[in-house]
Structures are given as C-alpha cells and as structure tokens.
Amino acid sequence: MKNSILIVDDLTFNRKQIKAVLKDMQQIEFYDAEDGFQAIKEVEDNDIDLIILDLMMPGKDGFDVLRELKADDKYKDIPIIVYSGMDNIDSVNQALELGAYDYFSKPLTLEQIQFVVPVKVKNALDSYVQRKALLRMHEKMKLELMLANVLQQTLIATSKKGPLADMYGKYLSCDEIGGNFYECVQYEESIWFIMADVSSHGVAAAMIASMIKVDFTNSIKYLSCPAEVLRHMNATFYSMMQGDYSFTAVVGKRQGNVLAFANAGHSHPMVYTHETNHVHVLYSKDKPVGLVEKAEYNSHKIKISTEDIIFLYTDGLFNTREQYDMEMNYQDLSGCFMNYKHIIQENPEEFFNVVLRLFAGITDEKVIDDVSLMLIKIH
C-alpha cells in the first residue's frame, strides 16, 4: 500500500528537489501544494500520511496551516515536517511548539539529501502508519465491545413476572461490558435467585458472568439447596481459574413459606416481611467463589410469605461513599428500604433510582464500579 506525502512550497524547484531526495523510497505517492490554501484542500480531498511544509509562504503560510490542522480532530495526528532557512531557527522552534513532528533546514546539504531527510521522512511515516493501525484496531474493539454489551443485556432481564414471584432488576456497568450477573427463575414449585459480582471488569469478567448464568440454571435442576449450588460453582470455577479470578454471590431458594439462602462473600440481602412490617438484613458470609479450592458454604433459612419483598444489590452501590463503613451502609440501606417500600409496589424502577441517588450519588447512570439491584416480590 502506498504512502501519500504532501509537499507544500511556493517554489516549484523546492518541491522537485524534495521529491528527488525521496526518489529511492518505495511505495510513495506525492501531492503538491503551492500555498497554505491549496495545502488544506489537498488534505481534505486525499488520504495524506505526511506533510512536508515550508514555513515561509505568501498568503496562508506554514504556521497558519499548522494551527488549522492541529486544531482539527480529523487531521491533527498527520505528522508534519517543517523546514525553513538556516538563519530562521526561531520559526522552527515556534512550529515545533505548534505540533510539528520534525524539521530540517534549507538549503539542503549533501548529508541532508543522502541521509537526514530520508530518515526523518521514514520515521514519520512509520510512526503514523502504526498509529493508524492501532486506531483501526481500537475502533474495531469498540465495535466488538458495543456488540458484546448488547448481547450481555440480553442475559440480564430488567423485569420478569411469574406465578410465584415478580422480579425487577437494574444493571449499570462502569465499562462497555461488566462482571455482574443476577437471575430469578421458577423451577418446579420453587423460586431460585442469584446475584453475583466478579472480581474484575471488562471482557474477562463478562465471560465469567455468562458462565455463571449457565452453571446456575443447570445446577438448580439437580441440587436441593443454595449451599450445594455454591459448593458446585466453587469446584467448577476454581478448577478453571485456579484462584486467578473469583466472584461473590448470594444464592436463594424460596419453597413454600421458607426462604433458604447462602452467601459467598457478597453484600447482605434484605427481606421486607409484610406480616411484621419489618426489614431483615440477612447476615451471613462465607468465602467468595473460586478463591480457594475447597470452600464450605452454609445455608440459612427465614420464614417468608405472600407480599414479602427480597432486595439484593452489589457493593458497587457503596463505592462512591466517602465513609465506606459497611455496617452503617446496611443500616442506612435497610432504613431506606423500609421508608420507600411503598414506591416498590407502584414503580420498582423509581425505587432503584432513589437508592442509586442516595447511596451512590448517581443521577446520570455513570458509575465507577458495576452496580446491580434486584427486587423479588413474592406472590
């Protein structure tokens, strides 16, 4: 593929001389401009890889061209090698301050013709070609991450209604894709749920989150309690990742009037019981999943009935707080849960917005850590 060099000089002799100096370079296509106005037009009309620019020209001079191109996001990265008379070094310094890549002086000496100018041109072209390749790769990655984000959103429902319970959720990622996952499913006569938070961000975390979904939905078909599900997950993920990655998780199962739950290092879930008009913080915490080879998990139980509400969240909810006191956070959050429980009945999304505003200071859905919230309303 040819590289395009634009030579800008009001004298035809100077343009021809520079072309002659570079005649041995391979795959070069030259463009000419007699002044700054024509130079800008050539840049706009062609894919220019390098500009060799005389500073002293009538009309729009080299300084004007430099200022205009460096102020334009579309062209600011094109390398510009400037040149001027040997007695005008101050002009060269000014050009470098404006963003010129390199310089040489005229008239050209034999050393410049044979070595200096060709090397400067080659270095500038190589740098720009590599930069363009990196930018293309970056744009491709951005597109792939955007598509991955769309796919990830299909894995995480914002609402789901069923005969035994209704689920509402909200997920905010600090990157294009993140490492949180939540789910609530009915299997036979039971309601199972999970909320998980992978220890990293980005692509690796998103891949782990997708594997959590598959492992969870499969394991609840043959395991009887949340602790068994976490033990199974720990064995699976530790064998794959050898402790390099881990995730916290809460797994719960509602069967009849009993809610069983197990906690692998996750933020404590909360339950509002309609009968007593009270919010219970479900204190319990074992080791995160995948951190150690043989971790033990314990199931705990609480009575639950129709119209009760389960609330789960990730610790990203608290990561913007100046006072990161988890015990205080749980007390404050349980109080908020109690005070705004009437909103949950009318508009769960608005309850999420209230919690995010009060505890994470979020009003524009931009977060510094992944945040997930889930409400389960029992029928």
Higher pLDDT, 182 or 329: 182
Q: Say if residue 322's pLDDT is above 60.
A: no
Rounded to an integer, the average pLDDT of 75-91 is: 83
The pLDDT of residue 144 is 59
Are the C-beta atoms of 184 and 160 separated by less than 8 Å?
A: yes
Comparing C-alpha atoms, which of 161, 215, 206 is closest to residue 185?
161
The pLDDT of residue 356 is 87
Distance CA 204, CA 96 (A): 42
Q: What is the pLDDT of residues 1-22, one digit of tens each?
A: 788 999 999 999 999 999 998 8
Domains of the chain in start order, with CATH, are 3-145 (3.40.50.2300), 156-378 (3.60.40.10)
> Which CA distances in Å does 284 have to 126, 300, 317, 318?
59, 8, 19, 19
Q: What is the pLDDT of residues 290-321, one digit of tens each?
A: 999 889 999 999 999 999 999 999 988 886 55
The pTM of the whole model exceeds 0.95: no
The pLDDT of residue 239 is 86
Higher pLDDT, 360 or 170: 170
Higher pLDDT, 133 or 75: 75
Distance CA 252, CA 250 (A): 7
Tokens for 156, please give them: 């995480």
Q: What is the pLDDT of residues 347-367, one digit of tens each?
A: 999 999 898 888 877 666 666
Annotate 189-203 with b (16+ C-beta within 10 A) or e (fewer): ebbbbbbbbbbebbb
Comparing C-alpha atoms, which of 314, 300, 330 is closest to residue 374?
314
The pLDDT of residue 85 is 75
Comparing C-alpha atoms, which of 50, 21, 14, 18 is closest to residue 35?
14
Share of the chain above pLDDT 90, in %: 47
Are the C-beta atoms of 145 and 121 separated by less than 8 Å?
A: no
Distance CA 214, CA 191 (A): 17
Q: What average pLDDT does the chain have?
A: 86
Rounded to an integer, the average pLDDT of 84-97 is: 80
Rounded to an integer, the average pLDDT of 244-264 is: 94
Distance CA 326, CA 323 (A): 9
Q: What is the pLDDT of residues 133-166, one digit of tens each?
A: 777 776 776 665 566 565 656 667 788 898 999 9
Rounded to an integer, the average pLDDT of 243-260 is: 92
Annotate 152-171 with b (16+ C-beta within 10 A) or e (fewer): beebbeeeeeeeebbbbbbb
Per mean pLDDT, which range of 241-245, 335-339, 351-355 is the poorest?
241-245
Rounded to an integer, the average pLDDT of 184-213 is: 86
> Which CA distances in Å does 296 have to 15, 249, 250?
77, 14, 14
The pLDDT of residue 256 is 92
The pLDDT of residue 309 is 95
Rounded to an integer, the average pLDDT of 247-255 is: 95
Tokens for 125, please give them: 């072209």
Rounded to an integer, the average pLDDT of 328-350 is: 86
Per mean pLDDT, which range of 255-259, 273-277, 355-359 is the poorest?
355-359
